Amino acid sequence: MTTLSDLPLRANLVGKRPYGAPQDVVPVRLNVNENTHPIPESVVADIVDSLERAVRGANRYPDRDFAELRAALAGYLGHGLAPEQLWAANGSNEVLQQVLQAFGGPGRSLLSFTPTYSMYPLLASGTDTGWIEVPRPDDYALTPELVVAALREHRPDVAILCGPNNPTGTPLDREAVLAAYDAFDGILIVDEAYQEFDAERESAVALLAGRHRLLVSRTMSKAFAFAGVRLGYLAADPAVIDALRLVRLPYHLSALTQAAATAAIRHSETMLATVADIRAQRDRLAEALAGLGYEVHPSGANFLLVGGFADPAAVFEALRAQGILVRNLGIPGHLRITAGTEAETTAVVEAIAALTPVESST
């Protein structure tokens, strides 16, 4: 059977592995930071109605520039944004890929601070962009001094600050964003996939005015419970949006995606009603695991990075055998656990508490 090694891959793709996480259909799935709460039936009905209308016109290509959706996204984000400042694609991964297609590429580089979202280096490889990783400190928090020093040393063409950071949950302070923007001349992306779960910090969207190299990436996969629809979006200067239009594929957002996302945004208040409950379950999970002696890192997201496991792989498999999926990301002594419903949180806490006591790795 032919394998990857038998194919004439680009040199920078040799040895790479595709992004992936276990997709077992088990009762409690807390491994990919989905919003595990169901979409309210009243919203489902409106989305289905919108999809029916879209299907009736599916013999025609969709609106190439998805004007109605961009206007809806601008209204949702607020801060005086115009539709011309919004862009969207099939998940925030595609948005970031388009940014690198426009501003990265051969001879250019992307920098971020690790551990962080594991797709960043893969997106860099896929666009033939050099990847620069700068280690985070022990508490994972980015200070203005650390960010400035790294950007001035490496002078990347593109930098990504993930806040709240995946997989650590670490919030991102405004001071670090402002310092980063002023420290280099490249494109600065703030990845806010989990922003709605951070009740204490304002979105970097508030910083866009007058900063044409600042891009803020968001998603409907998490707080909106819309992971299966695949809708990511970005706010930036209109000139940046024009640059992304140079590299996007024609009609890249289907009429069905546009219809579903626009309908969901009409019900944003209802769709986001679960956010407070998820925060509460995250805090409950943190308190319970800390009480069991584990190290729980501060999180502004809908998940926790938990340390103190002597053998994370063994704990992962033990939980999986009980129908509970969490995420083993290879961070020594750590597992990442999504905050789910009250019942899911109870299940994972009880399962971890019932495991044969493990020696702390710290």
Structural domain harbouring 210: 41-266
CA distances from 135 to 35, 124, 195, 336 (A): 29, 17, 22, 19
Question: Quick one: pLDDT at residue 3?
Answer: 85
Is residue 12 domain-resident?
no
Domain count, the chain: 2
Is residue 318 domain-resident?
yes
Question: Quick one: pLDDT at residue 14?
Answer: 86
For the chain, give the percent of residues with pLDDT over 70.
98
Q: Is the pLDDT of residue 359 over 70?
A: no
What average pLDDT does range 143-157 have in this prediction? 98
CB proximity list for 167: less than 8 A, separation 6 or greater: 115, 116, 117, 118, 303, 305, 327, 329, 331, 336
**pLDDT (tens digit per residue) in 306-349:** 999 999 999 999 999 999 999 999 999 999 999 999 999 999 99
Phi and psi based region of residue 241 (left: phi greater than 0; alpha: psi -120 to 50; beta: remaining): alpha
Examine the domain organization and report whether 192 and 281 are in the same domain. no
pTM to 2 decimals?
A: 0.94
CA distances from 209 to 19, 40, 69, 174 (A): 35, 35, 22, 14
Question: Quick one: pLDDT at residue 357?
Answer: 59
Domain-terminating residue out of 266, 294, 326: 266
Examine the domain organization and report whether 289 and 183 are in the same domain. no
What average pLDDT does range 13-35 have in this prediction? 86
Residue in this structure with the two tokens 């200067």, named with its chain if needed: 237
Examine the domain organization and report whether 51 and 113 are in the same domain. yes
Question: Quick one: pLDDT at residue 356?
Answer: 59
**CATH number reported for the structural domain that contains residue 78 in this entry:** 3.40.640.10
Is residue 296 domain-resident?
yes
What average pLDDT does range 269-295 have in this prediction? 96
CA nearest neighbour of 327 among 97, 37, 117? 117
**CATH number reported for the structural domain that contains residue 297 in this entry:** 3.90.1150.10
Examine the domain organization and report whether 53 and 142 are in the same domain. yes
Examine the domain organization and report whether 30 and 70 are in the same domain. no
What average pLDDT does range 210-215 have in this prediction? 98
Weakest-pLDDT range from 68-82, 90-104, 232-246, 342-356:
342-356
Residue that wins the pLDDT comparison between 22 and 317: 317
Q: Is the pLDDT of residue 166 over 60?
A: yes
**pLDDT (tens digit per residue) in 250-269:** 999 999 999 999 999 999 99
Question: Quick one: pLDDT at residue 360?
Answer: 43
Examine the domain organization and report whether 200 and 344 are in the same domain. no
CB proximity list for 142: less than 8 A, separation 6 or greater: 113, 136, 161, 163, 170, 172, 173, 176
Is residue 2 domain-resident?
no
Residue that wins the pLDDT comparison between 4 and 102: 102
